Amino acid sequence: MILDTNYLILPPIVKTMLIKATRVNKLHFGHEPLKQNCRFTANSSKNMNIHEYQGKAILKSFGVRVQEGIVADNPEEAVAAAQKMKEDFGSDWVVIKAQIHAGGRGKGGGVKLAKNHDQVKEIAGNIIGMQLVTPQTGPEGKKVKKVLVAQDVYYPGESETKEFYMSVLLDRARGRNIIMYSTEGGMDIEEVAHSTPELIFKEEIDPKVGLQPFQARKIAFNLGVSGDAFKDMVKFITALYKAYDATDSSQFEINPVLKTSDNKILAVDAKVNLDDNALYRHPDYAAMRDTDEEDPTEVEAGKSNLNYVKLDGNVGCMVNGAGLAMATMDIIKLAGGEPANFLDVGGTANAQTVKAGFNIILSDPNVKAILINIFGGIVRCDRVAQGVIDAYKEIGNIPVPIIVRLQGTNAAEAKELIDNSGLKVFSAILLKEAAERVKEVLAL
């Protein structure tokens, strides 16, 4: 997320939602990605993250020069990859990069420079299988299952190397794509954005006409490159935008973009977020999904077509509609609780979706109560109520109290069904009633 004052004034729960929804990778040697402005990311769609090596493969297919590398699943494959790197680029030096969906890999010990094949084997052996803990994984960390053996691109030459920052993303408020860039690429980019925002530039692009040549030249000029590096930067920017547009991505972030000592421009790292809503048009990209890198409960929710984001509270939420879900979380906070999740069951809630939602919410040991808040527009409230009853009976004993607030078509009939079910379920019609019920059960 791009950090600015708009983000700072958001309510805490919205900040939490945005932070949870943004799977940010810190790139090359722990470089920090620039946070996105909330207006760029606050939307109902979800993004599919992919690994660095996969992002680079996509970029390369559109003509973006990248730091080359080979993926290895074990130390022996890493050595073979390093040998191939030497054949192709004439150097024993390679960078061993852990491939996980989290940033801060370098600071956590997941990115190392190897100067010979013995070091490659040793470093790869240490990284593969390790539980890599970074600021973004939490204290439990993530298990590393593969590494990228990448070429050394910081070789000496006729000029100094220089790192830049560049990303392409959508400004939903203006309906324009944005290229954000800075001369200060690298691990301190967020500090740059905070302390010296004048060093962060934005180029707005009308999607009807696309990136114009003068805009690519303007960006290259502002980055201060000249000669062959200027020409190569223009080509890089043009190809990067083409890749972003053609892949229906929600974000491309390159940190750093490197000017090598021989004035070539390339992507040392790549963070690519693909829009879930467009994956049906890109089955080859959908196949890149690595469910081992995702929250298991979110994967399970996806199988049932539920939109789920895990949070850190004690009241589970099951709601139909993203706007109602946000209002429900506000009510929970006003009642003295903390939302344990965002769970949108959509407009066709039935016994099966309710059962799946129960199972997902109850997998969180922190949940002390469940609030079901359904507006009966497309779906009738009495059908939802019957679904809750059927799901409750099918699951058996549910160890936490359940508050069900149903409003809309047949709301009165639904309340009667809940009240006469004999189950440990509390009904409510008004949102205020539901909040009071939540407060009561949390006080027990």
Extract the runs of DSSP E, i.e. beta strands, from 131-238: 131-132, 142-143, 147-151, 162-171, 176-182, 200-205
Count Cβ atoms within 10 A of the Cβ of residue 149 and give its class: 0-12 exposed, 13-18 middle, 19 or more buried: buried
Residue type, 321: G
Handedness of CA 223, 228, 234, 235 (dihedral sign): negative
- Let me know if 165 is a catalytic residue: yes
Q: What angle do CA 68, 57, 215 make, to 5 degrees?
A: 95
What residues does 163 pair with on adjacent strands?
Answer: 258
DSSP 364: S
**Cβ neighbours for 397, distance < 8 A, ≥ 6 positions apart:** none
Question: Helix crossing, 12-21 with 322-334: angle to 10°?
Answer: 130
Among candidate residues 386, 373, 394, the one with its CA nearest the CA of residue 421: 386
Tokens of 326: 């946000």
Q: Which of 7, 53, 165, 244 is catalytic?
A: 165
- Let me know if 77 is a catalytic residue: no
Q: Which of 52, 163, 203, 253 is catalytic?
A: 253
Give the DSSP H or E segment for 433. Answer: helix 431-443
Cis check: omega of the bond before 75, within 30 degrees of 0? no
CB 101, CB 290: distance < 8 Å: yes
The torsion angles phi and psi of 150, rounded to 5 degrees, stand at -110, 150
CA dist 250 and 285 (Å) reads 13
Neighbours of 73 (CB within 10 A): 13
The torsion angles phi and psi of 318, rounded to 5 degrees, stand at -135, 115
Count Cβ atoms within 10 A of the Cβ of residue 155 and give its class: 0-12 exposed, 13-18 middle, 19 or more buried: middle
Active-site annotation, residues:
165, 253
